[in-house]
Structure 1
Amino acid sequence: MGKITKLVGAAGAVAGTAYLSKSENRKKVKAQLNKAAEKLNTKYVRNLGKPSGIDDAEMVDEGAMTSVRYYNKLQQKSLDSKL
């Protein structure tokens, strides 16, 4: 790294430490970080597992049913072999 980059980094660290030395500033920063994390998590969870199109949704549905049918066939064979 260049000397200027190190100098700017050190100045930023000193300024951040000076700012966070006050209790009220720490509370403000913590509140903003929590708000940002909550917003990010809400947006991520809201879109989790939702296919974007109808074709994608049908493909997911068919794929899910294929594995269920396969499992049910294995279970049925297992039960038939025991009888």
Structure 2
Amino acid sequence: MGSISKVIGAAGAVAGTVYLSKTENRKKVKAQLNKAVKKLNTSYVKNLGKPSDIDDSEMINEGAMTSVHYYNELQQKSKMNS
């Protein structure tokens, strides 16, 4: 059973090498990896807070200044209503 696994592994390595020998295929693989990493990072940031804080974590994901502007707008509206 061990020798069959080695043969399959070697065949997979050869197939991968042949596939990645073309520049076009390397670019496709690299683009897919970058897309997967970006998606992973985005979902990681959203899951940092509590489930009830998803909106806050999305603001953090957009950038820190977004939350500052949002807070300032709320303060201005509060002053106008009082």
What range is the shorter-chain TM-score in?
0.5 to 0.7
Residue 5 of structure 1 aligns with which residue? 5
Is 2:33 the counterpart of 1:33?
yes
Partner secondary structure for residue 12 of structure 1: helix
Residue 18 of structure 2 aligns with which residue? 18
Show structure 2 runs of 5+ residues with no match. 53-82
Partner secondary structure for residue 9 of structure 1: helix
Structure (1 or 2) with the larger CA radius of gyration: 1
Residue 51 of structure 1 aligns with which residue? 50
Partner secondary structure for residue 27 of structure 1: helix
Partner secondary structure for residue 36 of structure 2: helix
Distance 1:30 1:45 in 2: 23
> How many residues are matched?
53
Distance 1:6 1:45 in 2: 39
| Aligned-pair CA distance for 1:5 | 0.2
Distance 1:52 1:39 in 2: 19
Show structure 1 runs of 5+ residues with no match. 54-83
Distance 1:26 1:19 in 2: 8
Which consecutive aligned stretches of 4+ in structure 1 deviate over 6 angstroms post-superposition?
none
User: Which structure would you say has the larger RCO, counting Cα contacts within 8 Å and 6 or more residues apart?
Assistant: 2
Counterpart of 1:12, as a letter, is G
CA offsets 1:15-65 (integer angstroms, 9 cap, x no match): 0000000000000000000000100100001111x1246xxxxxxxxxxxx
